[in-house]
Amino acid sequence: MRGAFVRTLTALAADDPRIVLLTGDLGYMALEPFSERFPERFFNLGVAEQNMVGAATGMAEAGFVPFAYSIATFAALRPFEFIRNGPVWHRLPVRIVGCGGGFDYGPQGTSHHALEDLGVMRTLPGLTIVAPADHRQMATALAATWDVEGPVYYRIGKDDRTEVPGLDGRFRPGHAETVREGEDVLLLACGSITPEATKAADALAAGGVRAGVAVVASIQPAPVDDLVALLARVPVVLTVEAHVVSGGLGSLVAEIIAERGLGTRLVRCGVRTAPDGVSGSQAWMQAAHGLSAPALAETARAALDRRAG
Amino acid sequence: MPPAAATELSGAALRRTILQQSKRAGVGHIGSALSVADLVAALYGGVLNIPSPDHPDRDRFVLSKGHAVLAVYAALAIRGIIPVEQLDTYCGDGSLLGVHPEHVLPGIDFSTGSLGHGLSFGVGAALAARMQGSARRIFVLLSDAECNEGSVWESVMVANHHALANLIVMVDANGQQALGYTDDVLSLSPLDDRWRAFGWDVHVVDGHDIAGIAATIGRLDTTQGRPHVLIARTVFGKGVSYMERQIKWHYSPMSDAEYAQAMAEIEAGG
C-alpha cells in the first residue's frame, strides 16, 4: 500500500506542481521515487511532527498541497492538536499520511501500533478520512481524493502484494464497496486487515453460512446510505478493524444502526484490552485480538447461534 | 489599502482601543495587548507590506500569542482592513472578533490561541514563499513564555536548518506569564543566547521604540542567510501605571475607576 501511495503521488506530482511531500524522518526505502524525482518538493523536516503539520498548514495557505508522512501513531496522535488547529480549523488541503494503521508494525511494539487514529480523527468535522484495504484501492483512493477541499487523513498499510478478492481497486468517496454477497451475516472491514474478513467469509461459506463482505475505506464522509442499505438485508453484522472498538468503524456502524433505528445486531471485532507488553508479527497480533480469519468466522457463528437460540 | 497617517497608527491609538474595548466587553488579557502594542504599531505602521488582505505576495503575519489580538484588531481598524464599527462586536455573540484571532476575519492570516503553533505555520509559509520565488516576508510574534512549548523549538531548529532568512520572529519579552514571572515559573534566561545557540540572527531591541523596531527590521537581509529574531524587551501592561509588571492584569477586567485612570494616563502619555 505504501508503495502504491508513493507511486501514485509521484505520478500526480508530475502533473501538478502544488504537491509537496514532507516526512518526519521516516519512509526509508519507500519515499525515494518521489524524493529523487522532485527533490525541490521533498522536505525531511526531522523528527518533529508538530512542526511538520504546522509547516504543512503554512504551505497550504500559500497554495500548496502538502502531504505530511510518518508512522500512523506519530502522524495522527502526536500532533493531533496541530491537525485540529492547523488544516482542520483553517480548512486547508493538508494531507496527513499515517503508515501502518493497525498492527502493521507488529514486532515494533505498542508505540508503533496505531489503534486509536481513526477514532480521534473521526472527531474532526471537515476532515476526509481514507483507510484503503489494499494497494490497488490505495492508488484509486489517492487519485480520487488528493485534491478534495479541506484536509485528508490517509491511514495506509505497508503490504503492497495482498489483494482483497473482488475489490479490484474500487473506491468512491462516501461509498462502501461490496466484494462478496451473502444474506446470513455481513462483515464490514477497513484497512489492511480486510483480507482476514474475506477469508473468514470463505470459511463461513464452507460451513454453509452465506457471509457478505463490504469494504469501508471512505470512513469520512461515511457511506451512510450504502451501509443502511447493506445492513437492512442481514440480521447480524460484524465490523472488522485493527483498531480499538471505540471510535472507529465499529462505532461508526453503531451510530448508523442507532440513529436509523435498524434492527441489525452488531458485533464489533477489534481491540478491547490495554497494552500488556506482549508483541509479535502483524498476523500474531491480529490473532491475539480475535481478528484472524478463523476467529472472525467463529465470532460470526457464535453470533448467529445466539440469535437462533 | 490606503496608507495610514503616522499620527493615527501610534502605540497610544492602539492602547486607546485596547482599553475601550476591554472595558466595554468586560474582559481581560489587557496587559498582554498593551505589551505588544508598539510592536504591532511598528508592523502595521509601515513594516508589513500588505497591498490588500488577500494579495498572494503580501507579507504574512502570525500572532502566535493570540491572546493579545485586540492590539491587532485596533491596527486593522486604523488601516481600514476592518470597519472601525466592527471593533464594537469584540467578544459579542456571533462576532468574528474573539479573544483569540480567527483567520476568517480579513487581515488575519492564521488562527491562533493555543501557544506553540504559530511559528510552525510561519516555517511553512516561509518555505512556501521561497519555493514560489516570492520576496514576501513572514512575521511571527511569540511571547517569551510561549517558548516553554517544545514545539516552538522544533520550528526554531527547522527554520535554521533551512536558512529561512525570510522569517522574522519577534519575541514579546515582558518577563511575565499567566501565573507569575517567567524566571520564577520556567526560566529561559538568557533568552537571546538560547536563540543564538540555535543558529538564529538575534537582535535585542526596545519593544516600545517603534522607530527603532522598524529600523532594525529594515536592515535585515531577508533574501539569504539565517532566520531573524528580535528579542523585544517590553513592559507588561505598558502605559498604564497600575498594570505595569503586575500579574493580575493577565486576566482581570477594569473597574470604572481603573478605566478612567488608564485612559487618562494614555492620553497624558500620548
State chain B's mean pLDDT as an integer: 95
- Taking the C-alpha atoms of residue B230 and residue A229, their distance in angstroms, rounded to an integer, is 61
At residue A265, the 3 state secondary structure works out as strand
Q: Which amino acid is at A279?
A: S
Cβ-nearest to A51 among B56, B113, B158: B158
The tens digit of pLDDT for each residue in B231-245 reads: 999 999 999 999 999
State chain A's mean pLDDT as an integer: 97
Would you call B114 and A62 a contact, using CB atoms and an 8 Å cutoff? Answer: no
**Averaged pLDDT, B1-25:** 80
- Among all residues of chain A, which has the CA nearest to that of B149? A50
Count chain A–chain B contacts defined by CB atoms under 8 A: 100
Answer whether residue A187 shows pLDDT above 70: yes
Interface of A with B (CB under 8 A): 20, 40-41, 43, 45-46, 48, 50-64, 66, 81-82, 85-86, 89-90
If one counts every other C-beta atom within 10 angstroms of the C-beta of residue B5, the result is 10
Question: In A, which residues are within 8 Å of B162 by CB distance?
Answer: 43
- Taking the C-alpha atoms of residue A30 and residue B28, their distance in angstroms, rounded to an integer, is 51
Answer whether residue A61 shows pLDDT above 50: yes
Q: What are phi and psi of B79, to 5 degrees?
A: -80, -5
The tens digit of pLDDT for each residue in B45-77 reads: 999 999 999 999 999 999 999 999 999 999 999
Paired sense of beta strands A211-215 and A177-183, if any: antiparallel
**Averaged pLDDT, A68-72:** 98
Would you call B117 and A60 a contact, using CB atoms and an 8 Å cutoff? Answer: no
Cβ-nearest to B127 among A48, A59, A86: A59
Answer whether residue B183 shows pLDDT above 80: yes
Instruction: Kindly list the distances between the CA atom of residue A158 and the CA atoms of A198, A219, B143, in Å, as whole numbers in the listed order.
Output: 19, 19, 42
**Averaged pLDDT, A46-55:** 98
* CB of A48 closer than 8 Å to CB of A72: no
Answer whether residue A265 shows pLDDT above 60: yes
The tens digit of pLDDT for each residue in B102-118 reads: 999 999 999 999 999 99
Answer whether residue B5 shows pLDDT above 70: no
Question: In B, which residues are within 8 Å of A46 by CB distance?
Answer: 154, 157-158, 161
The tens digit of pLDDT for each residue in A203-225 reads: 999 999 999 999 999 999 999 99
- Among all residues of chain B, which has the CA nearest to that of A47? B154
- Taking the C-alpha atoms of residue A130 and residue B106, their distance in angstroms, rounded to an integer, is 33
Alpha-carbon gap: B122 to the closest alpha carbon of chain A (Å): 6
Residue A249: enclosing H or E segment and its boundaries?
Answer: helix A249-260
Tell the burial category of A272 from Cβ atoms under 10 Å away from its Cβ (0-12, 13-18, 19+). Answer: exposed
Q: In sequence order, what E strands does A25-142 have?
A: 42-44, 65-71, 95-99, 128-130
- Taking the C-alpha atoms of residue A146 and residue A94, their distance in angstroms, rounded to an integer, is 9
pLDDT of amino acid A251 = 98
pLDDT of amino acid B19 = 98
* CB of A253 closer than 8 Å to CB of A126: no
Question: Above pLDDT 70, what percent of chain A?
Answer: 100
Question: In B, which residues are within 8 Å of A52 by CB distance?
Answer: 120
Answer whether residue A276 shows pLDDT above 90: yes
pLDDT of amino acid B4 = 43
pLDDT of amino acid A309 = 67
Answer whether residue B8 shows pLDDT above 90: no
Cβ-nearest to A61 among B117, B120, B125: B125
pLDDT of amino acid B1 = 42
Answer whether residue A134 shows pLDDT above 70: yes
With cut-offs at 50, 70 and 90, classify the pLDDT of residue B2: very low
- Taking the C-alpha atoms of residue A139 and residue B129, their distance in angstroms, rounded to an integer, is 31
Alpha-carbon gap: A111 to the closest alpha carbon of chain B (Å): 20
Which of B59, B104, B110, B121 is the mutation pick for testing A, counting most A CBs within 10 A?
B121
Question: In B, which residues are within 8 Å of A55 by CB distance?
Answer: 120-121, 123-124, 127, 155, 158
Q: What is the pTM of this model?
A: 0.96
How far separated are the first and last CA of chain B, in Å rounded?
Answer: 26
Answer whether residue B98 shows pLDDT above 90: yes
The tens digit of pLDDT for each residue in B84-94 reads: 999 999 999 99
Answer whether residue B3 shows pLDDT above 50: no
**Nearest residue to A234 (alpha-carbon basis) of A267, A203, A190:** A267
Q: What are phi and psi of A278, to 5 degrees?
A: -95, 135
- Taking the C-alpha atoms of residue A270 and residue B22, their distance in angstroms, rounded to an integer, is 52
C-alpha cell at A36: 529523487
The tens digit of pLDDT for each residue in A109-129 reads: 999 999 999 999 999 999 999
Alpha-carbon gap: B134 to the closest alpha carbon of chain A (Å): 11
The tens digit of pLDDT for each residue in A147-184 reads: 999 999 999 999 999 999 999 999 999 999 999 999 99
Cβ-nearest to B117 among A46, A63, A85: A85
Which residues are CB-contacts of A73 (< 8 A; sequence separation ≥ 6)?
A98, A100, A111, A112, A113, A114, A117
Question: In B, which residues are within 8 Å of A51 by CB distance?
Answer: 120, 123, 151, 154-155, 158
**Averaged pLDDT, B172-189:** 96
**Averaged pLDDT, A281-301:** 98
Would you call B157 and A46 a contact, using CB atoms and an 8 Å cutoff? Answer: yes
**Averaged pLDDT, B135-144:** 98
| CB contact burial A148-170 (16+ within 10 A = b; e otherwise) | eeebbbbbbbbbbeebbeebebb
- Taking the C-alpha atoms of residue A309 and residue A198, their distance in angstroms, rounded to an integer, is 26
Answer whether residue A62 shows pLDDT above 70: yes
- Taking the C-alpha atoms of residue A22 and residue A53, their distance in angstroms, rounded to an integer, is 9
pLDDT of amino acid A98 = 98
Question: In A, which residues are within 8 Å of B127 by CB distance?
Answer: 43, 55, 58-59
Answer whether residue B219 shows pLDDT above 60: yes
pLDDT of amino acid B270 = 56
